[in-house]
Amino acid sequence: MSTPMPTPPPEELLDAALRHELRWEAPPELTHRLLQLVPNAAPTPAPATAPLPRWRFYLAIGLIALAVLVSMVGAAYLYQIVWFQLGAGSLIAQLEALPARLLQSLYETIPFAREAVSIAALIRDQLHWVLLALVLWILLDTWQPELKPIGSRSSSS
């Protein structure tokens, strides 16, 4: 009868497993590309790797696009279901009518408000023109055309 071998402590087992898993060998193509970045490095021949077929690339792009499209449609459908279950359609209609109701109550409360709002609209229109003029001024002020002197033309006789 043979005596069983003693098992090492768990720390040593974990250490051995980690050392085995953390050992990573760089692919030869990556090593070659990194060595090309180092000046005065010994030249190494590039490994010959066959490129992936083009149909695989297009298939992968198509599948990714299909997955994104399906997930977006699914999210939009779920969002629509939740949105209308909460009665958001009536909420949107109320929010659309709110500014008109507020303006009407303002006009009824303060009779002069109608003229003040129209003056504010006129001022807003004028400020839009001033803003446009400022933007054009800034653009034209920083623009420096390349002008060539007239005497610098070479004449070939």
One domain, residues 94 and 134? yes
Q: Which amino acid is at 44?
A: T
Q: How many CA atoms lie within 13 A of 114 on its CB side?
A: 6
Is 20 among the domain residues? no
Whether residues 78 and 93 share a domain: the answer is no
Answer yes or no: do 80 and 111 share one domain.
Answer: no
What's the DSSP call for residue 38?
S
Q: Judge if 82 and 97 occupy the same domain.
A: no
Q: Assess whether 95 and 135 both reside in one domain.
A: yes
- Answer whether residue 25 is part of any domain: no
H helix or E strand, kind and range, residue 73: helix 54-85
For residues 44 and 152, which has the higher predicted lDDT (pLDDT)? 44
- Residues 81 and 61 placed together within one structural domain of the fold: yes
Q: Is residue 24 part of a domain?
A: no
Cβ–Cβ under 8 Å, residues 32 and 46? yes
Expressed as residue numbers, the domain containing 94 is 89-141
Average pLDDT for the chain: 84
Q: Is residue 153 part of a domain?
A: no
CA 56 to chain centre: 26
Q: Provide mean pLDDT across the span 122-140.
A: 93
Q: What is the pLDDT of residues 44-90, one digit of tens each?
A: 666 666 777 889 889 999 999 999 999 999 999 998 888 888 888 78
Per the structure, the count of domains in the chain is 2
- pTM, rounded to two decimals: 0.33
Let me know whether 97 and 130 are in one domain: yes
pLDDT in tens, 79-106: 888 888 888 878 888 999 999 999 999 9
Other beta carbons within 10 angstroms of residue 31's beta carbon come to 13
